[in-house]
Structure 1
Amino acid sequence: MNILSVLSPNISFYTTAFYVGVYSPLAGIIFLVLRYYYRRKNSILSSAPLIPTKNFWISYFGLVPPPDENETVDELSKFLISVGQDTQQSPLSVSWSIFGTPLVIVNSLKGIKDVLVYGQVKSKVQGRPSNVQRGNLIRLIQNHVFGGENINNSTGEGWRWRRHVLLPPFQPRQLVPNLLPYVVKRAHELLDTFGKASDQGTALELDGVFQDLTMDVINFYLYGRSDLNYELVGGKENLKHMHHKLGLGFQSLEAWFPFGINKTKWAQRAFGPSREHLKEFVKDSIVLAVEKQAEYKSDGQEFQSVTAAALSSGKYHEDQFDLINDLLSLTFAGYDTTAHTLAFCFSELARNPALQEELFLQVRAVLGPPPVLPESITADKLAKMPLVSAVYRETLRKYPAVAFIPAHVNYDTNVDGVVVPAESEIWCNLRGIQMNPNIFPNPDKFDPSRWIRPGDTNDTLGGFDSMAADHTRESPIVTPDQQYNFPDLSFTLGPHSCLGKNMVILELRTTIACTINEFTCSLKEGSVIDTKIVLTTKPRYGVWANFKRRSEIRI
């Protein structure tokens, strides 16, 4: 028998396998290259300016660079600021991924409004999604990390009914009277912490201190009480660490593994256990919130907590799966962002004694000398201290908790005169536009006077947001002479504006005013203040500060 006749079938098989092994990847590469050039050359964005970056993740995939523990410079902030300050990149610029999908960075205020306000307005066509929606990747990973849909990753009707149910408790007329007494009480406990540090001459790391404060405020308003079962999460002090571990899911490489591998316990080992502990804590807190509401006599229209209001709607199923996810997502979204803002705020005050003194004189004139009775601090008084509001607004400008807002384009959308095609991904560049010298001269300078309106007028809501449904009305003109008209981009704009905005404002105002009324602060010797983006903008090295009691009145 001819040996070739025996081997020829095997030779044919191996030859075929060889060609398939070699040419299939090659065919795939050719397909990607052709699609890339076809999409780029035929796109209505083909002539748009290119984003000047050498970053691998942004250039080739249109993705946020993963956090680098060895990084010593905030490269992402540096990149966003450089793009936002480059007039050639306005109103937008583009990076083309290897798949031919454009990443569009929007660098003008009008463009950002077109995306967040007009782009996300509910379509008049039944069943048709809005022109723009939350970014696909962030929704996907958030759904994975939280184990289901929630207020911060849903779209369409799934988002709309949640927003309708959860919005009323965050309106100022409900939130302020229900939450202000607790915020003042908790602020006075914070003053005790500062007083002890002052007496002992020790510095405090403020980011951690303010995370504890913010966590208490959020939990109190979500559940209407402070006596929650913290043992379920290893103690009250451990609650913020549990949330931090949950956040590791957003940085997990295993979270992107295909074929269901990302849903295994192994793949979720970094964050899965924390998520389950936190959900047990939320589930138990819901029970306590119901008990608290039962003790409160009302006409059925007033509620002691966000949980009670949500349950009264009848929209949540008996298994409370969606409610647990919504409440957990609200806590996760707010516990560190407000704390980072306060930490950065006091880092700037600590470096500016003259500003501290100016702020002190205004606060003391309204609150009076300590001890200040908690019940004497009202929303009206807080609204009479415009410099307090200017200080936190300037902090949010220079250190935005959210560096950019991702969005996905469903249908061709006009963005500041440029049509952005469907299937594009967008980054609304908050970090860059808020450091644009054409809007904010000398942007590196911390200057609260930018936000002081002539006459220091306050609106009827005392500076809180009515969260009105009409998001498409014309906004005031923003110029270097009218910087105070610049919107609160850190809370986003339009239909998806931050639910907790008024709660944040209340905590910021109260904490800043009460602290400055009794203490001066200075940075610990050798402190370095820098930013680092890990989901949110945080102090890279923390904020270490010394507090000293005010010993005399200088009114």
Structure 2
Amino acid sequence: MFITILLLSMFILLVYYYYVHYGRNGRLLNLVPGPSAVPILGNATQFNVSVEELWKLVIITLSDKYYPIFKVWSCFTYCTCIRHPDDLETILSSTKHIQKGYLYNLLHSWLGTGLLTSTGAKWHARRKILTPAFHFNILNQFIDILIKEGDYMTESLKDVGGTVVKDLIPFITKHTLNAICETAMGVSLQKFGKFEQQYRNAVHDLIELVVYRMCRPWYYNNLLFSLSPQGRKQKKILKILHGFTEKVIAERKLYHERTNYRYLDNLENDKETEINDVEVFGIKKKRLAMLDLLIAVSRDHFLSDLDIREEVDTFMFEGHDTTAMGITFALLLLAEHKDIQERVRIEVENAMQESGGKLTMKSLQNLPYLERCLKETLRLYPSVFFILRNVEEDVKLNSYVIPTGTMLFLNIYGVHRDPNFWSNPEVFDPDRFLPERIQNRHPYSYLPFSAGPRNCIGQRFGLLELKSMIAPLIHNFYLEPLDHLKDIRLKADIIIRPSHPVHIKFIPIIRK
């Protein structure tokens, strides 16, 4: 009996294998070039390497060898990798191919199906609801938080005294997490003592677990993963993350109920409304948070507490790690390019003098050279260096038809360094983004915030945060490199990330 079942299972497996690889879809995908593969396992064995080697293999080696498109597969799943701007435009500008790749499902345990991971009608509804949260007048309220956190970061270096050497990533991440926590939820992690580090560790550990699962297809199954030691660890981490968010939501909703929603009613009529004496966990607030905006719209759009939690957690995930990496690489680049660093410093000093010696929304908007530096940083080191999409129906790219059901890997890092669209692509040159030099550039050759209907809703917020954190550092310190970019090893991850600590020397500027 056992042998019969085994033989039957093998027969079904072979029939399905033949159907997937030699049916219509398989025949179309077999036309796409790619590395040689073995039966059943496909290219899986080639990807069983370190995260550093995996980065080099997928993002650079295979992408260059089979430019501009290649395919890989494992078992019954195909993935096609693209980096030509025309192909990227075909996908990203489409309203049909907006479903994220299935690997984003690994984030569902934390983020549910919020704006990042949802699709279809739910995504359209959430996008419409959340867009006003990034209205200019709303961002104008958040800017005080960003500037304050940038000042905290600078003061923490000053408090040490003298020249300071910092391990950049944990140092910066602490402050970007504080900033997004206060803008998203209206509470500062700094007020929570030991819990601040516990929450920060929980965010870091959960992201590591997601990457761990991405590299182990057998753990894509939720039940199997839940039985593993890593699955049990994730359950404990989620208790911390969800527990904190749920508590803040409950406290905030209770406050609005007790004040008869008068601040939220005002919000709907006046985007510049401020809350006076809002108290959450004993902390008085004088401004709205994104959470308040979600509570406001929840009355008309029937968002449950779980719906609100999905979006707040999504803000927390997307809003701190990406900006931390953007700041990290910007500081590393400025440290290595002293002439550019000094030009930024002069611009910041002039802008601050015009605003009474401090940073404001107006002064941050008056930093065009720093903004060009940040755009060039995000070209060389895009925080989101790839995007995964599922093909919802057959799509014709430049050279091949990609059939329904295929997963697409959009190589943002690759197109940003494509010599066909960027002269001297490895060189850090902020003036690439002068108005006269971007006029004739392919609009899909630069995608640090994606593009099309699913572009990043928070890109203006992100650039403001980068400026708010970097400007005070440049104003108060000379940056000296210790770890040079040519020696930094990147690794396969959810966002771009060095595989080892990176350091910078901060030398105080003495002004008379």
TM-score band w.r.t. shorter chain: 0.7 to 0.9
2:501 to 535, 542, 548: 542
1:215 to 162, 168, 177: 177
Whether contact under 8 Å (1:117, 1:494) holds in the other structure is: yes
Instruction: Indicate the SS of the match to 2:497.
Output: strand
User: Structure 1, unaligned stretches of length 5 or more?
Assistant: 1-15, 122-129, 456-474, 480-484
Q: Deviations 1:301-358 (Å, cap 9, x if unpaired)?
A: 2461211111112267686112112211221122211101111111111112122112
Matches within 5 A, 1:56-71: 59-60=42-43, 65=47, 68=50
Matches within 5 A, 1:162-201: 162-175=126-139, 177-197=140-160, 199-201=161-163
Work out the CA distance in 2 between the residues paired with 1:310 and 1:380.
27
Question: Quick check: which one's helix share is greater?
Answer: 2
Residue 82 of structure 2 is aligned to residue 106 of structure 1: yes
RMSD: 3.4
Whether contact under 8 Å (1:219, 1:331) holds in the other structure is: yes
1:238 to 187, 195, 198: 198
2:99 to 133, 140, 146: 133
Q: Radius of gyration: which is bigger?
A: 1
1:284 to 241, 247, 251: 247
Work out the CA distance in 2 between the residues paired with 1:355 and 1:296.
45
1:55, CA displacement in angstroms?
Answer: 11
Instruction: Indicate the SS of the match to 2:448.
Output: helix
1:42, CA displacement in angstroms?
Answer: 6.2
1:512, CA displacement in angstroms?
Answer: 2.1
Work out the CA distance in 1 between the residues paired with 2:217 and 2:53.
25
2:276 alignment partner in structure 1: none
Q: TM-score, normalised by structure 2?
A: 0.84
1:420 alignment partner in structure 2: 402
Shift in alpha-carbon separation, 1:54–1:64, aligned structure 2, 3 A: closer
Shift in alpha-carbon separation, 1:344–1:33, aligned structure 2, 3 A: same
Work out the CA distance in 2 between the residues paired with 1:378 and 1:25.
67
Work out the CA distance in 2 between the residues paired with 1:476 and 1:57.
48
Work out the CA distance in 2 between the residues paired with 1:489 and 1:271.
32
Instruction: Indicate the SS of the match to 1:278.
Output: helix
Q: TM-score, normalised by structure 1?
A: 0.78
Shift in alpha-carbon separation, 1:516–1:308, aligned structure 2, 3 A: same
Work out the CA distance in 2 between the residues paired with 1:340 and 1:42.
39
1:192, CA displacement in angstroms?
Answer: 0.8
Work out the CA distance in 2 between the residues paired with 1:403 and 1:64.
21
2:92 alignment partner in structure 1: 116
Question: What number of residue pairs does the alignment pair up?
Answer: 486
2:294 alignment partner in structure 1: 310
1:390 alignment partner in structure 2: 372
User: Structure 2, unaligned stretches of length 5 or more?
Assistant: 274-287
1:155 alignment partner in structure 2: 119
Whether contact under 8 Å (2:80, 2:407) holds in the other structure is: yes
Work out the CA distance in 1 between the residues paired with 2:40 and 2:407.
14
Residue 510 of structure 2 is aligned to residue 551 of structure 1: yes
Q: Deviations 1:13-69 (Å, cap 9, x if unpaired)?
A: xxx544543x33542453244224413786344433x124779999536x995784x
Whether contact under 8 Å (2:190, 2:196) holds in the other structure is: no
Residue 266 of structure 2 is aligned to residue 299 of structure 1: yes
Instruction: Indicate the SS of the match to 1:105.
Output: strand
1:514 alignment partner in structure 2: 472
Matches within 5 A, 1:398-477: 398-416=380-398, 418-454=400-436, 477=440
1:95 alignment partner in structure 2: 72
1:352 alignment partner in structure 2: 337
1:338 alignment partner in structure 2: 323
Q: Which residue identity does 1:111 align to in structure 2?
A: D
1:4 alignment partner in structure 2: none
1:249, CA displacement in angstroms?
Answer: 3.5
Instruction: Indicate the SS of the match to 1:490.
Output: coil
Shift in alpha-carbon separation, 1:212–1:172, aligned structure 2, 3 A: same
Shift in alpha-carbon separation, 1:209–1:55, aligned structure 2, 3 A: farther
Whether contact under 8 Å (2:421, 2:445) holds in the other structure is: no
